[in-house]
């Protein structure tokens, strides 16, 4: 199995990418999504980890995150991931990042990505991108399906981690910092995060 991960600037792009991967025959249990909480008006006002846990109880929670079912997006719930705080998430990678999977290390999105085979530099950029409002989609696929699924995910215009990392470094960023304060997007950024018109 190979893990393929992409980050999208809008939730709509990520949602459409998940739908395409599911339609291509990849089981929902092998797909994950982790989105900044601002993708949803329902969760935007949750501002700390304890409230995220409460939100998870009313949403999918860990059970929905770990399990499959009626499609990945039906299992979205609020979780607190170390270093990201409250996120809207579902799937195996989210569960690994919160340390909810048996045998998981201490949790954390960077560790979960690296442990899944994503290069460390990309893992830091992807994590920072989610912190700043992006949506991460990861799929575990058979080796023989990797090229086809990469092509599907790339149709929805993910970020280029090398280019995005260079942009972040221009402002003094070096690596994802789990101790950094929560990022609060501007209203314009929140509108961009939620926009549907970029999801081709």
Q: Where are the beta strands (DSSP E) in 55-150?
A: 77-81, 85-90, 135-141
Q: What is the pLDDT of residue 66?
A: 37
Report yes or no on whether pTM surpasses 0.85.
no
Q: What is the pLDDT of residue 192?
A: 78
Distances (CA, A) of 111 to 29, 104, 153, 163: 20, 10, 22, 22
Q: Which residues of the chain have pLDDT under 50?
A: 49-69, 100-106, 197-200
């Amino acid at each position: 199995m190979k893990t393929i991960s992409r980050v999208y600037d809008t939730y709509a792009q990520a949602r459409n990418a998940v739908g395409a991967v599911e339609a291509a025959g990849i089981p929902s249990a092998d797909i994950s999504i982790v989105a900044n909480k601002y993708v949803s008006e329902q969760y935007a006002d949750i501002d700390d980890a304890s409230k995220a846990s409460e939100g998870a109880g009313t949403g999918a929670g860990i059970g929905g995150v770990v399990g499959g079912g009626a499609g990945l997006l039906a299992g979205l719930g609020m979780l607190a991931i170390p270093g990201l705080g409250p996120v809207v998430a579902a799937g195996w990678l989210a569960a690994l990042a919160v340390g909810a999977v048996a045998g998981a290390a201490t949790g954390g999105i960077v560790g979960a990505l690296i442990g899944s085979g994503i290069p460390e530099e990309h893992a830091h950029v992807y994590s920072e991108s989610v912190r700043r409002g992006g949506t991460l989609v990861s799929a575990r696929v058979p080796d023989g399906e990797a090229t086809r699924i990469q092509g599907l995910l790339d149709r929805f215009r993910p970020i280029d981690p090398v280019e995005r990392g260079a942009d972040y470094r221009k402002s003094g960023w070096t690596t994802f910092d789990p101790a950094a304060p929560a990022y609060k997007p501007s209203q314009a950024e929140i509108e961009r995060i939620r926009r549907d018109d970029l999801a081709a």
